[in-house]
Amino acid sequence: MSALHDISVADLARRLKSRDVSAVEVAQHFLARGEAHGDLGAFLATDPEVTLAQARAADERIAAGDAAPLLGVPIAHKDIFVTRDFPTTAGSKMLAGYRSPFDATVVRKLAEAGMVTLGKLNCDEFAMGSSNENSAWGPVKNPWDTRRIPGGSSGGSAAAVAARLAPAATGTDTGGSIRQPASFCGITGIKPTYGRASRYGMIAYASSLDQAGPMARSAADCALLLSAMCGPDPDRDSTSLDTPAEDFTRALGGSLEGLRIGVPREFFGEGLAGDVRAAIEAALQQYEKLGARRVAVSLPRTELSIPVYYIIAPAEASSNLSRFDGVKFGHRAKQYADLLDMYRKTRAEGFGEEVKQRIMVGTYVLSHGYYDAYYLQAQKVRRMIADDFRRAFAECDVIAGPAAPTVAWQLGEHGSDPLADYLADIFTLPASLAGLPGMSIPCGLGAGGMPVGLQLIGSWFQEGRLLNAAHAFQQATDFHLQHPEGLS
């Protein structure tokens, strides 16, 4: 019989339902495993007492005949979601020791589904980064090669799932922070259409871009998790869409015969590494064997997505992070002369360098005399990027390409060149700016034996079609079953 950490979310749920294993036994197994591999830096906070209490409650529900599909299955949450039972820091000293009086809607929904929380996962500070090296609590290491980054900002989530420290995790995606770390760590992750999952209780970076999503080993597992996470939340989140929750598992198993897969020529330029290109090409050929048809499409403003994103996102961050001033909650400087001095010292001490940099950029582009020249123009180009996707989806059903230009790079490799991190987001940013659903699935190994992720992008509200396309690929291949060596 397979070890508990080698079992999928769906299989684990079936074993729990049949009472082959108890939720307490499963929780104990993963808690021990997380402690044994603490050197990866994936977890920021655990509380076995809280976790085991949730597991006992799940066992009671199972004994009473409750058949919820995720009942008793463990999950870990990115530390960007506020939680009552665990501290929430957003990877920042600014929130060291902070305890929220409520749970984020996504956390609450998954708890109501019966999932058991293992703890909180490391992330780039306030979700700002592509490598998980910006956390105030230290970097996360990629379990495939601990000298490399796991991707960011949901690097702790990706590493935890890849290392089998948790069967599933929550992540957030602002410009690719689910898809890129999923690619680098060889797991599956999906960002739904903007507004599908509530942002209530998700510490804001860029409000018009931030979106929660699940990270797991397979599309089938992500479909289960996404079904529980999504749904309207009008009383708490004004950006939540009035779209009923769906059972995304119903979309799985459909034929790909005749599916039109759009391949944007802009995703295959000079910046794409040869090993990644080869893995993506092999994946596209596999789709053709499954009955899909390749269609050439164009997303002509792909390169503009980088300057557009790095104007809009910092601008919104500048506004969102103004609340961290030492007055109501979070860090406060111990010594200061007056109120203004307290603001200055608190923010200087509490924020890391990347966060300060983005706040300064955002404040600049929103300032008098620059708003029209930068922020307003960026919003206009953002709409054009969405229009490019509309035209492309008139010719295809799903868009496919790389999730990142390269495999995961070495820790510290981009330390002297912050723009290199920004450029690594070029393939994930366009879908985020358009508010589209997107996912990454493992499709091979590249240089150094590191995972390569295939990005699939769907039209608005087409998560079911995306998940079915990913599931069909995973039924025909075993890339999603591969895992790092030395972590038994």
Residue 294 bridge partners (DSSP): 261
Beta bridge partners, 116, equal 74
Instruction: Spell out the alpha helix ranges (H) of 37-154.
Output: 48-63, 105-112
What is the bridge-based pairing of β-strands 260-264 and 293-297?
parallel
Q: Cβ-count burial of 366 within 10 angstroms (0-12 exposed, 13-18 middle, 19+ buried)? A: middle
Are the CB atoms for 424 and 406 separated by under 8 Å?
A: yes
Which parts of 84-236 are beta strand (E)? 116-121, 168-173, 188-191, 211-216
Q: Where are the beta strands (DSSP E) in 49-197?
A: 74-78, 116-121, 168-173, 188-191
Q: Which of 404, 389, 376 is nearest to 301 (CA)?
A: 389
Hey, which residues are catalytic here?
Answer: 78, 153, 177
Environment class of residue 101 by beta-carbon count within 10 Å: exposed (0-12), middle (13-18) or buried (19+)? Answer: exposed
Contact 177, 153 (CB under 8 A): yes
- By three-state DSSP, how is residue 221 classified? helix
> β-pairing, 293-297 with 451-458?
unpaired
Residue type, 75: I
Task: Characterize the bridge pairing of strands 211-216 and 168-173.
Answer: antiparallel
SS3 call for 241? coil
Specify the 3-state DSSP secondary structure of 80.
Answer: coil
Q: Which residues of 7-44 are buried (b: 16+ CB within 10 A; e: fewer)?
A: bbbbebbebbeeeebbbbebbbebbebbeebeebbbbb
What is the token pair recorded at 252?
A: 């799985």
Phi-psi region of 46 (alpha: psi -120 to 50; beta: other; left: phi over 0): beta
